[in-house]
Amino acid sequence: MANTPLVTRRHAVVSETRHLLFSVMPGAVWIFVFLVLPSLYLMAVAFMSNGPYGLPELPLSLDAFKQLAGFGFLGWSPGNFYTLLRSLWQTLVSTALVIVVAYPIAYYITTCRAKLRPLMLLAVVVPSWTNQVIRAFGWMNLLAPGTPLSDAAQALGLIGQHMGLYPSNFAVTLGLVYNFLPFMVLPLYAAFEKLDTAQVQAAQDLYASPMRAFWHAVFPQTLPGLLAGTVLVAIPAFGMYVIPELLGGGKGMMLGNLVANQFAGGSNWPLGAAGALLMLLATFVGLFAMRRIGKRLGGGEEVVI
């Protein structure tokens, strides 16, 4: 008799577990089969050797990683290193620029009338609903030789005669900033909206200069939003494929292009897979670092999204 409640409880646990399985399993299995397995397969490809025509073959080898590091038939060559540096540099510069633009914008929206704010946010986000290929195409049209912007840049001596602003590394940076701006504005706006004004007021009384008031009272409060935005911008920017391909014109190759070329140009699957693995690694390191920083700053909040 005494064990009846136990049985019911166990029964309840079993049925709860069954409920959990039924509700969560279809999706979990789906993601596992169609994303985790493929990623694992891709990792395996990185450790295979390159067949005579670029397809992965056994035996296992570390050749792909050696090639990625620049060791090949010709001894060491810095090509891939350049690509990696360029990816890092573009990510860094575009993320910084995005922050510089998004920060005042997000603040400005919070100072506007409450009724206007959703409209303003929408105005920032709507361009990103169009396809990124279309957006890049718009910039191709704007920056090509002979367009007003290119003519102006020529007149200022920024680019050579007869040249256009596109294709160039500058066009890639611009494309990246354009592409990712909304990703930064949204989380920053959320942070500004939650700003504790009493604290800001106190700071204004405490510190004479508005600069110091900003630095000590406003900035720390917006940091979680800034970090979230940085994650949302930097990770996809680092792996960008479309923008360098369309706007870079052969000088702006980034890691995403190196990886894609090994598959879409049919030359070396293991090398492409190794590059993808590097990208994955960078992504997780970036996420982890952001989380750590976020925690240390005492945000305590979920930084990602």
Restricted to residues 119-158, the positions that interact with another protein (CB under 8 A) are 119-120, 122-124, 126-135, 137-142, 144-147
Judged by CB under 8 A, the chain residues 246 through 265 that form the site for another protein are 246, 248-251, 253, 256, 258-261, 263-265
The answer to whether 96 contacts another protein (rule: CB under 8 A) is: no
The answer to whether 287 contacts another protein (rule: CB under 8 A) is: yes
Query: Which residues are registered as beta bridge partners of 71?
Result: 76
The answer to whether 227 contacts another protein (rule: CB under 8 A) is: no
Q: Which is nearer to another protein, 227 or 253 (CB)?
A: 253
Please give the structure tokens belonging to residue 246. Answer: 């369309």
User: Could you tell me if 145 and 164 are in contact, meaning their C-beta atoms sit under 8 angstroms apart?
Assistant: yes
Helices (DSSP H) in 239-268: which residue ranges?
Answer: 242-247, 255-264
Q: What is the nearest approach in angstroms of another protein to the Cβ of residue 157?
A: 13
Cβ within 8 Å of residue 159, ≥6 positions away = 150, 153, 165, 168
Please give the structure tokens belonging to residue 298. Answer: 């005492």
Q: What is the nearest approach in angstroms of another protein to the Cβ of residue 145?
A: 6
C-beta atoms surrounding 60 within 10 Å: 12
Q: Which is nearer to another protein, 1 or 160 (CB)?
A: 160
CA angle 66, 70, 73 (to 5 degrees): 80
Helix (H, G, I), strand (E, B) or coil at 16: helix
Q: Which range, of 35-43, 89-97, 195-203, 293-301, touches another protein by CB under 8 A?
A: 35-43
User: Could you tell me if 191 and 221 are in contact, meaning their C-beta atoms sit under 8 angstroms apart?
Assistant: yes
Q: What is the nearest approach in angstroms of another protein to the Cβ of residue 161?
A: 5
Q: Which is nearer to another protein, 1 or 228 (CB)?
A: 228
- Member of 9, 60, 78, 206 binding another protein (CB under 8 A): 78
Q: What is the nearest approach in angstroms of another protein to the Cβ of residue 39?
A: 5
The answer to whether 303 contacts another protein (rule: CB under 8 A) is: no
What is the C-alpha separation between 292 and 305, in angstroms, rounded? 15
- Member of 90, 91, 164, 165 binding another protein (CB under 8 A): 164
Single out the residue of 74, 270, 96 nearest to residue 177, CA to CA.
96
Q: Which is nearer to another protein, 1 or 54 (CB)?
A: 54
Q: Which is nearer to another protein, 2 or 34 (CB)?
A: 34
C-beta atoms surrounding 286 within 10 Å: 16
- Member of 242, 291, 293, 301 binding another protein (CB under 8 A): 242
Q: What is the nearest approach in angstroms of another protein to the Cβ of residue 231?
A: 8
What is the C-alpha separation between 240 and 77, in angstroms, rounded? 24
Q: Which residue carries 């670092």 as its tokens?
A: 289
